[in-house]
Amino acid sequence: MTRIVIVGAGVMGLATAWALTRRGERPLVLERFGRGHAHGASHGETRNFNDAYAEAHYLDLLQRAQEGWDALGEVGGEPLLRRHGLVTHGGAGLETIARGLHDRGIPTLMLSGAEARAQWPGMRFEADVLYSPGAGVVRASAALLELERRVLAAGGEVRWGAPVAGLDDLGERGARVRLASGGEIEADVVVATVGAWTEGLLAGIRMPRLTVTEETPAHFAPTIGPWPSFNHRIDPGRYPAPVYGMPTPGEGVKVGFHRVGDVVDPDERPHRVTHHDALAEYVREWMPGLDPDSAVHLSCTYTSTDDGAFVLDRVGSVVVGAGFSGHGFKFAPGVGATLGALALDPAARAAAPFRLMAA
């Protein structure tokens, strides 16, 4: 019997496998698609490393994740976590976030809009800005390759092109993985990190509602710099949702509305761009350092709970990591450590807001 099987080799599955190898395990990871695929939520060159959270459970997870990113170190002569800073503006509560970060020893600085404009002339600011110099971006594609390399080097196994048809919790006998090819694998514990395919795979587990959407942010060509990562908590009305973004060397500056895409079947994703005109209008109004007519859109999926909270829990011999709601990638090493602990110890618990009973 295999001790631990992980289904899904996106960033959460690979981070879980790496966390387990650091504790002496040799997990088997199964992924339905090939390496480097673009069908889910983990592909692409960059993800925002945003630390502007007020909730203690996210800050706890973020600090655990940051330790993991630092432990992964450099790839190709450059850290996987680029700390070029993050600016957050718009809405209320920035001072509360700043105090919470300060209390944890995370450096922040409150700037006036004029001070921020002088430092980042490519952006427009109307009010105070929270600057987090230790934030920035994660090099997403490079992170996936490095996590897999670490897993393999430690004796784990990653099988690409190995779709799973279903899971069965066998109680005290562990769990069974039913392969689409017709075979079966029995394991002590199975960890499911399958993103948009969670509800189909875990039909026997009571989950919160998970909504799968196709999101289409875009890279815009910069005309001036420098560029930080950014969050704009814009008032609802003129634009459909808050805005996030980050520089992606070689591709431009990524800008997107958060969680506004069409609901889709992940197996029949239409790759249809939404909110193209609104995004270009936003860039034209708020980002004078970008060419608003240069948008190159990309597609990914969000798998979201209604409140955006993650699901990190264990039911019998099945561990679930799901519902990362478009803001999970930065947390991956912390999520992996949490899911790994759940897999190794049936008595372990994630923070209460992440548990299924709280959903």
The string over 153-178, giving b where at least 16 C-beta atoms fall within 10 Å of a residue's C-beta and e elsewhere, is ebebebeeebebeebbbeeeebbbbe
Kindly indicate the confidence band of residue 1, based on its pLDDT and cuts at 50, 70 and 90: low
The string over 115-137, giving b where at least 16 C-beta atoms fall within 10 Å of a residue's C-beta and e elsewhere, is ebbebbebbbbeebbbbbebbbb
Are 249 and 215 spatial neighbours (Cβ–Cβ below 8 Å)? no
Read off the tokens for 58: 């996210």
Q: What is the mean pLDDT of residues 103-107?
A: 94
Domains of the chain: 1-83+139-208+307-359 (3.50.50.60), 86-133+211-304 (3.30.9.10)
Residue among 309, 344, 350 at smallest CA distance from 191 = 344
Residues contacting residue 181 through CB under 8 Å, at least 6 positions apart: 162, 163
CA 22, 24, 30, 33 torsion-angle sign? positive
Read off the tokens for 49: 């490393």
Kindly indicate the confidence band of residue 357, based on its pLDDT and cuts at 50, 70 and 90: confident
On the question of pLDDT at 126 being above 70, the answer is yes
State how far the alpha carbon of 294 is from the alpha carbons of 165, 223, 245, 249, 305, in Å: 42, 11, 15, 15, 33
pTM, to two decimals: 0.97
In the block, residue with structure tokens 């099988």: 159
Span 30-45, pLDDT tens digits? 999 999 999 999 999 9
On the question of pLDDT at 291 being above 60, the answer is yes
Compute the distance between CA of residue 359 and CA of residue 357 in angstroms, rounded to an integer: 5
- Output the pLDDT for position 220: 98
